[in-house]
């Protein structure tokens, strides 16, 4: 069985897998994935303040890749399509898996925390699948709470961890995670924060402030 000339040309023109790594927005996405991996690693070790730094930087790189991508006029359609898929896959790890592991770790991996972790992870997967299927109906706002807010809220919530006993804060973290999951799949309208340049500067300030605070707590 022989391939047609058109088929041979199509294969020859198809880019290699690693050729997409040189795309700057994709590099930002992968940098965010590194931050997420570190947050998961430190969550498992119980070094939660370090995990918080990884979680907030994951959001910063996520916003940065979108900002850079929108500013690139000569970005190819294949780069855009690949970047969209890469973002989707990284989002489930950054905003679904990482928070779920944080919850289980802080709850000393007790079986009851598996339920909360599953709800958080399932809500993230359902939300991403929904918008991957139907897209955004309004570019100015989202339906439900965008997943990047999961990390921003949890990182803020953890600032108060020292005020409560470990048992009480684990319950607060559990309840907070369930509430966030509910908001992720709700029908409420929320603003698209990452689309506003002013909010990017606010996130930059928030990221640096969080990094300084938790670095101090680690020291």
Tell me the pLDDT tens digit for each residue of 21-72: 888 888 999 999 999 999 999 999 999 999 999 999 999 999 988 888 877 7
Percent of the chain predicted with pLDDT > 90: 66
Cα–Cα distance list, 174 to 60, 112, 169, 181 (Å): 25, 10, 8, 11
How far apart, in Å, do the first and last CA atoms of the chain sit? Answer: 67
Average pLDDT over the chain reads 90
For helices 98-106 and 48-71, the axis angle rounded to 10 degrees is 170
CB 124 within 8 A of CB 92: yes
Fold of the CATH domain 22-218: 1.20.120
CB 69 within 8 A of CB 20: no
Residue of 50, 20, 18 lying closest to 36 (CA atoms): 50
Using the predicted structure, report yes or no on whether residue 7 has a pLDDT greater than 70. no
Using the predicted structure, report yes or no on whether residue 155 has a pLDDT greater than 80. yes
The model's pTM is: 0.89
């Amino acid at each position: 069985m022989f391939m047609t000339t058109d088929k041979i040309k199509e294969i020859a023109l198809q880019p290699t897998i690693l050729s997409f790594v040189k795309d700057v927005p994709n590099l930002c996405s992968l940098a965010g994935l590194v931050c997420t991996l570190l947050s998961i690693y430190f969550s498992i070790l119980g070094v939660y303040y370090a995990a918080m730094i990884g979680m907030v930087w994951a959001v910063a790189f996520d916003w940065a890749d979108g900002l850079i991508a929108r500013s690139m006029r000569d970005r190819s359609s294949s780069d855009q399509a690949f970047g969209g898929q890469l973002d989707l896959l990284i989002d489930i790890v950054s905003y679904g898996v990482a928070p779920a592991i944080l919850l289980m770790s802080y709850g000393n991996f007790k079986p009851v925390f598996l339920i909360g972790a599953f709800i958080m992870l399932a809500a993230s997967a359902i939300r991403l699948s929904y918008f991957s299927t139907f897209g955004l109906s309004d570019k100015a706002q989202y339906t439900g709470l965008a997943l990047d807010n999961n990390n921003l809220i949890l990182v803020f919530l953890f600032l108060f961890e020292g005020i409560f006993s470990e048992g009480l804060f684990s319950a607060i973290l559990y309840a907070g995670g369930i509430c966030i999951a509910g908001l992720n799949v709700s029908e409420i309208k929320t603003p698209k924060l990452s689309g506003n340049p002013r909010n990017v500067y606010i996130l930059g300030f928030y990221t640096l402030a969080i990094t300084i605070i938790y670095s101090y707590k680690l020291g």
